[in-house]
């Protein structure tokens, strides 16, 4: 086995997605050290992708994701879950509609998993382009907690 650098053209997929941002300062105040932020976001992304099929009636392979410590469009730590089809197929939109329930399930699943650092049942992905690196299972719980707190504080029309 080996790794070989590839010189390939950039690939783009115009689709639809749902995303959230968590300010770095909030993550650090909640106990996620700066070097662990990318792994916490990445683990939260994987868990969200793994559980969206329960809410959107899709297969895990129908969706993809991206997480980064500083996204160029948001200038913040960001997690994105997107439809894996050009133009979108409605799965990410469904995730947005049920975000509180979906992310509650993500948090519950990751926190309840008996593994110590992350496994295929909670935060590892079989199709991760980064070889499941970095991942921070405990940081993912914190990320999702912060997002859930923010969602709970939103005033919704009656």
CB neighbours (10 Å) of residue 53? 15
Q: State how far the Cα of 85 lies from the Cα of 17, in Å rounded to an integer.
A: 11
Residue 158 pLDDT more than 70? Answer: no
> What are the residue boundaries of the structural domains of the chain, listed by start?
17-147
Mean of pLDDT values over 113-138: 96
Angle in degrees, 0-180, between the axes of helices 37-51 and 99-112, rounded to the nearest 10: 110
Structure tokens at 156: 């919704």
| pLDDT at residue 83, rounded to an integer | 97
Mean of pLDDT values over 44-51: 98
Report the share of the chain in percent with pLDDT over 70.
Answer: 98
| pLDDT at residue 145, rounded to an integer | 96
What letter would DSSP give residue 80?
A: E
User: Which pTM value belongs to this model?
Assistant: 0.90
């Amino acid at each position: 086995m080996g790794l070989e650098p590839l010189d390939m053209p950039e690939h783009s997929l115009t689709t639809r997605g749902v995303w959230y941002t968590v300010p770095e300062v909030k993550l650090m105040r909640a106990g996620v050290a700066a070097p662990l932020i990318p792994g916490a976001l990445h683990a939260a992304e994987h868990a969200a992708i793994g559980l969206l099929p329960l809410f959107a009636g899709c297969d895990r392979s129908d969706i993809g994701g991206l997480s980064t410590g500083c996204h160029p469009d948001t200038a913040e730590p960001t997690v994105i879950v997107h439809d894996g089809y050009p133009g979108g197929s409605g799965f990410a939109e469904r995730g947005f509609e049920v975000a509180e329930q979906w992310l509650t399930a993500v948090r519950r699943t990751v926190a309840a998993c008996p593994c110590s650092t992350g496994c295929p049942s909670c935060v590892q992905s079989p199709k991760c382009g980064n070889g499941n690196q970095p991942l921070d299972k405990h940081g993912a719980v914190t990320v999702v907690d912060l997002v859930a707190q923010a969602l709970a504080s939103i005033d919704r029309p009656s």
